Amino acid sequence: MTKKQTAAPKKQSKPLSHRHTPGQGHCMDLLRQLSAYIDDELPSDICREIRTHLGACPNCEVFIASLRQTVTLCRHRPVPPLKSSDRVSMRRAILDAAKA
């Protein structure tokens, strides 16, 4: 396989289920930290906990693989040009959302 070729993801024939027991892993806690995790911005002990959870939770493994692929694709796309009026409109919408 060359550098540009990637292995096709395995297709799942049935829904994935958790293999961990309640209390051993919390998917929502993991989701809150995923961005920092894939950017290597977390302390090693937190990364170890996340890797342990991923090893026990096929759903989260699939989700993080998809997120990594999405980030890679976004990094290789050109930034779309914005008109000045678009920037003003977006800034206003962000400020309005922050006030709410």
> Do the domain assignments include residue 86?
no
User: 29: domain range?
Assistant: 20-78
pLDDT at 43: 94
In a domain, 8, yes or no: no
Examine residue 58 and state whether it is found in any structural domain, yes or no: yes
Q: If residue 72 lies in a helix (H) or strand (E), which one and from where to where?
A: helix 58-75
- Give the model confidence (pLDDT) of 40-69 as tens digits: 899 999 999 889 988 888 888 898 899 889
Is residue 24 assigned to a domain? Answer: yes
* Rounded alpha-carbon distances, angstroms, from residue 97 to 15, 44, 68, 83, 84: 36, 35, 28, 21, 20
The structure tokens listed for 9 are: 């993801």
Q: Look at residue 98 and tell me if it is in a domain.
A: no
Query: Does 55 reside within a domain?
Result: yes
Say if residue 25's pLDDT is above 50: no
Tell me how far apart the alpha carbons of residues 67 and 38 are, in angstroms, rounded to a whole number.
Answer: 9
What is the number of domains present in the chain?
1
* 99 lies in some domain: no
